[in-house]
Structure 1
């Protein structure tokens, strides 16, 4: 399959997962707790099943590393090429009745995300991209190219986490910036906003976030001309021990 065909596959599965998530939301659901005390719902599990089954059927030789399977102890080893899936990123927002949650699918090759999809079903938006080939956003059936914007001379729009804040570290980072606006929101949707030129920078300076939380968003953002850098200024890579990320900063334009 070509990269374009692989992206089409990921878009289709993310859309199906998003539809299933919305169906669970309409029907009502219980919130359970995993071993790390993070929330999980029927929507997480249903969406993960849709995505992982579709990926395995289409690309049976590539491992699928998915959040809920890993939480249950089914943790594949990383290979040269593998899928990273967060079926419902922003479960806290979903459980609280907020709209900032996404289904995330990324393809990793040699430690780097090469394509990704973010489906934000409550917003009716899909963000997708292939690194080196461009990114797009779809809303109301209309698809348009997206790209990061130059950093505004009047000050940047900062995106901060809704549920996982490190206020002191974020304040220290922002002290070196001219900040015009700050928005707190959940999930990897923040990557989509920066990719579409709606915001400029997202500092996530703690190391508690996992690779499946960032891979799809990083692929979309890099496809749109942005960057995701660790504390040393190097691009965030994948297949690390335990699939755990260090702190990072996602940037739009320069």
Structure 2
């Protein structure tokens, strides 16, 4: 199944790049939170939803680009989580920092994660306790988190929060890098960065694939109260996450 999901993510990514590299018309709309959505998001979403339905029609799908009755979704223990174009702002800025995210949730835990960065033609994936990076040459190698004496801390390129400055003041030595989309999770999973602090709202489709990959590579994803970020819908009141941090280890 993992190979099928990886191919599906690549197919959606190829469609995204066909718009990115051409003069095809972009229709841009804005959601209630003023975040952009385009016809490219929707086309990628259609590809993924059709593909997942062919792989296993019994598993329900929750996508950023869908409308759902949360009361009905609360009864789902197993489901797909999809963000067909994570980093729409980065796509529109043409900086390449956008991804296709697909994950499988079982009983509140992301057990499979796939993140494809089509601009860089790099794919990250995981199943249970194993995580890999797949290069443009088709080579797949296992990846692991890595601690550093001076950690690289990653923050969002397009989102800021007042609490971030308070957090940074508590850390004595660090390097910092701004990055878009779920690539922040990927850099931690492959050992190139160590900490990703996130304040403010995200949704479960923003984090699940990255969560699966980081944990499979040996890292942690926790809320600021120390709990593991949970995707069990029956214990939630919405699709919105609380603040969290991603780390290479408990000591970062």
Same fold (TM over 0.5): yes
* Aligned pairs for 1:18-37 within 5 A: 18-27=13-22, 28=24, 29-37=26-34
Instruction: Tell me the secondary structure at the aligned position of residue 202 of structure 2.
Output: coil
Distance 1:97 1:162 in 2: 13
Distance 2:45 2:173 in 1: 37
Structure 2 residue aligned with 1:236: 229
Selected match of 1:157 from 152, 158, 165: 152
Report how many aligned residue pairs link the two structures.
Answer: 242
* Aligned pairs for 1:4-153 within 5 A: 5=1, 7-27=2-22, 28=24, 29-70=26-67, 73=68, 77-78=73-74, 79-132=76-129, 134-141=130-137, 142-150=139-147, 152-153=148-149
Distance 1:182 1:189 in 2: 15
Distance 1:195 1:176 in 2: 24
TM-score, normalising length from structure 1? 0.91
Distance 2:212 2:3 in 1: 15
Distance 2:78 2:163 in 1: 34
Distance 1:170 1:147 in 2: 26
Unmatched tracts of structure 1, length 5 or more? none
Structure 1 residue aligned with 2:206: 213
Superposed structure 1 runs of 4+ greater than 6 Å apart: none
Instruction: Tell me the secondary structure at the aligned position of residue 59 of structure 2.
Output: coil
Instruction: Tell me the secondary structure at the aligned position of residue 68 of structure 1.
Output: coil
Unmatched tracts of structure 2, length 5 or more? none
For the pair 1:226 / 2:215, whether they are aligned, the reply is no
TM-score, normalising length from structure 2? 0.92
* Aligned pairs for 1:182-201 within 5 A: 182-201=176-195
Structure 2 residue aligned with 1:250: 246
Query: CA offset at residue 59 of structure 1?
Result: 1.1
Over aligned residue pairs, what C-alpha RMSD do you find?
A: 1.4
Query: CA offset at residue 12 of structure 1?
Result: 1.2
